[in-house]
Amino acid sequence: MSINLVAVGNPAGGVSAFEGIGAITGTHQFEWLSAGRAALYRTGRPLDATCIEKARNLALSAEIDLFVTRKPIEKKAVLVADMEATIILDEMLDLLAEELDLGDAVANITSLAMNGKIDFGRSLAARTALFAGTPESLLERLCERMRFTPGAQRLVTSMKNAGARTVLVTGGYDMFAEKVRDACGFDEVVANRPEVRDGMLTGQLLPPICTAATKREVLERTCSALGLPAESACAVGDGANDMEMLKIAGLPASYRGKPVLRDLADFNIVHGDLTALLFAQGYRESEISN
Q: Based on the fold, state whether residues 114 and 47 are members of the same structural domain.
A: no
CATH code at position 229: 3.40.50.1000
CATH code at position 4: 3.30.70.600
Q: Based on the fold, state whether residues 94 and 78 are members of the same structural domain.
A: yes
The residue range of the domain holding 57 is 1-73
Q: Based on the fold, state whether residues 266 and 203 are members of the same structural domain.
A: yes
Question: Which of 27, 48, 73 is the last residue before a domain boundary?
Answer: 73
Q: Based on the fold, state whether residues 84 and 59 are members of the same structural domain.
A: no
Q: What is the pLDDT of residues 232-268, one digit of tens each?
A: 999 999 999 999 999 999 999 999 999 989 889 999 9
Question: Which of 47, 73, 99 is the last residue before a domain boundary?
Answer: 73
Q: What is the pLDDT of residues 146-176, one digit of tens each?
A: 999 999 999 999 999 999 999 999 999 999 9
The answer to whether the CB of 165 falls within 8 A of the CB of 226 is yes
Is-above-0.85 flag for pTM? yes
List per-residue pLDDT tens for the chain, 290 residues long.
Answer: 689 999 999 866 678 999 999 999 998 889 999 999 999 999 988 899 999 999 999 999 999 999 999 999 999 999 999 999 999 999 999 899 999 998 888 878 878 777 777 788 888 888 999 999 999 999 999 999 999 999 999 999 999 999 999 999 999 999 999 999 999 999 999 999 999 999 999 999 999 999 999 999 999 999 999 999 999 999 999 999 999 999 999 999 999 999 989 889 999 999 999 999 999 999 999 999 98
CB-facing half-sphere around the CA of 47: CA atoms within 13 A = 25
Residues 6+ apart with CB under 8 A from 260: 115, 116, 239, 240, 243
Q: Based on the fold, state whether residues 80 and 144 are members of the same structural domain.
A: yes
Q: Based on the fold, state whether residues 66 and 83 are members of the same structural domain.
A: no
Q: Based on the fold, state whether residues 26 and 111 are members of the same structural domain.
A: no
Question: Which of 73, 94, 111 is the last residue before a domain boundary?
Answer: 73
DSSP annotation of 207 reads: S
- Give the total residue count for the chain: 290
Q: Based on the fold, state whether residues 81 and 164 are members of the same structural domain.
A: yes
For 84, 114, 127, 165, 251, the CA distances from 93, given in Å and listed in that order, are 9, 13, 8, 28, 28
Q: Based on the fold, state whether residues 242 and 110 are members of the same structural domain.
A: yes
* Angle in degrees, CA 61, 67, 277, rounded to 5: 110
Q: Based on the fold, state whether residues 148 and 21 are members of the same structural domain.
A: no
Q: Based on the fold, state whether residues 185 and 84 are members of the same structural domain.
A: yes
* Cα–Cα distance measured from residue 34 to residue 147, given in angstroms and rounded to the nearest whole number: 26
* Cα–Cα distance measured from residue 239 to residue 217, given in angstroms and rounded to the nearest whole number: 17
Q: Based on the fold, state whether residues 153 and 275 are members of the same structural domain.
A: yes
Domains contained in the chain, number: 2
